[in-house]
């Protein structure tokens, strides 16, 4: 009974010096920041919370968001407004859709993070990963280190708690990225429970905010997490820094 009243840890206590590997701060290209002013405002809020750097990871999803291309995103990155407080770098969040392989085949053109890490996402409703294993393998063959974004949000975990399905990814050496705000409940109770369970069992390597808007910065500022996940979360935050170096050891 007394456990119910155990004090929660404010998320913002952990954010000093944070290097984020997942954000939607690149303006006007997806469901993240609308325009340059919005980007500057969110950047300032994140800096105030202690963030030091961020990979900008706009969605690349076929048929959505103006069919984002690497060239288009690089061009927009060149147009980033002056006055950004965070150290920002460009990567992307590739959806595992029917055009994913076209991006992979132009492997040198992919928007990756330090150490050739490629951030990919499944559709949230995904219940089986098998249809995507071939594409991921092809990307890995081309020297890309796969990072799976926010697995705790996918149906095979959030709904089914099907860790056997997850094993099909981790057994190939693909790394997993926790959404920080899953721990504060932003993505629902089921994702939160799975995120805590996976974090405590050492399944994640990296952590990202996936920040899109002020809804996210508000939870960063006011949200709380279970004290039991604080230490493993700090380890993921340390791992993130390796993707900001010239090479990656992870």
Interface residues toward Fe ion, by CB under 5 A = 93, 210
Q: In what order do the strands lie in the sheet with 206-208?
A: 59-60, 93-95, 117-121, 145-149, 175-179, 206-208
Question: In the numeric block, which tokens belong to residue 107?
Answer: 């492997």
Q: Judged by CB, which is closer to Fe ion: 181, or 198?
A: 181
Q: Judged by CB, which is closer to Fe ion: 43, or 210?
A: 210
Q: Is 185 left (phi over 0), alpha (psi -120 to 50) or beta?
A: left
Minimum separation from the CB atom of position 122 to Fe ion (A): 12
Q: Judged by CB, which is closer to Fe ion: 93, or 152?
A: 93
DSSP 8-state class, residue 243: T
Residues 6+ apart with CB under 8 A from 118: 94, 110, 112, 139, 144, 145, 146, 147
C-alpha 46: how far from its chain's center? Answer: 16
Minimum separation from the CB atom of position 24 to Fe ion (A): 6
Continuous H helices in 15-149: 36-49, 70-78, 100-105, 130-141
Minimum separation from the CB atom of position 93 to Fe ion (A): 5
Q: Judged by CB, which is closer to Fe ion: 9, or 61?
A: 61
Minimum separation from the CB atom of position 79 to Fe ion (A): 21
- Collapse the DSSP code of 46 into the 3-class scheme (helix H, G, I; strand E, B; otherwise coil) and give the result: helix
The closest residue (CB) to Fe ion is: 210
Q: Judged by CB, which is closer to Fe ion: 165, or 210?
A: 210
Distance CA 42, CA 64 (A): 23
Minimum separation from the CB atom of position 210 to Fe ion (A): 4
């Amino acid at each position: 009974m007394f456990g119910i009243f155990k004090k929660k840890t404010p998320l913002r206590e952990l954010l000093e010096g944070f290097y984020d590997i997942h954000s939607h701060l690149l303006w006007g290209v997806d469901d993240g920041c609308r325009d340059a002013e919005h980007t500057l405002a969110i950047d300032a809020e994140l800096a105030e919370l202690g963030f030091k750097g961020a990979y900008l990871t706009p969605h690349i999803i076929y048929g959505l968001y103006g069919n984002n291309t690497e060239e288009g995103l690089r061009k927009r990155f060149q147009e980033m407004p002056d006055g950004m407080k965070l150290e920002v770098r460009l990567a992307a969040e590739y959806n595992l859709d029917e055009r994913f392989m076209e991006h992979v085949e132009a492997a040198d053109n992919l928007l990756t993070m330090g150490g050739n890490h490629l951030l990919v996402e499944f559709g949230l409703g995904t219940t089986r990963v098998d249809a995507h294993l071939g594409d991921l393998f092809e990307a890995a063959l081309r020297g890309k280190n796969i990072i799976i974004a926010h697995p705790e949000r996918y149906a095979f975990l959030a709904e089914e708690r099907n860790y056997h399905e997850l094993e099909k990814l981790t057994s190939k050496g693909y790394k997993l990225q926790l959404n920080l705000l899953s721990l504060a409940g932003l993505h629902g109770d089921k994702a939160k429970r799975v995120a805590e369970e996976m974090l405590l069992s050492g399944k994640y390597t990296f952590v990202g905010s996936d920040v899109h808007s002020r809804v996210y910065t508000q939870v960063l500022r006011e949200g709380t997490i279970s004290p039991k996940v604080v230490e493993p979360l700090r380890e993921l935050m340390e791992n993130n820094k390796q993707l900001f170096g010239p090479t990656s050891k992870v």
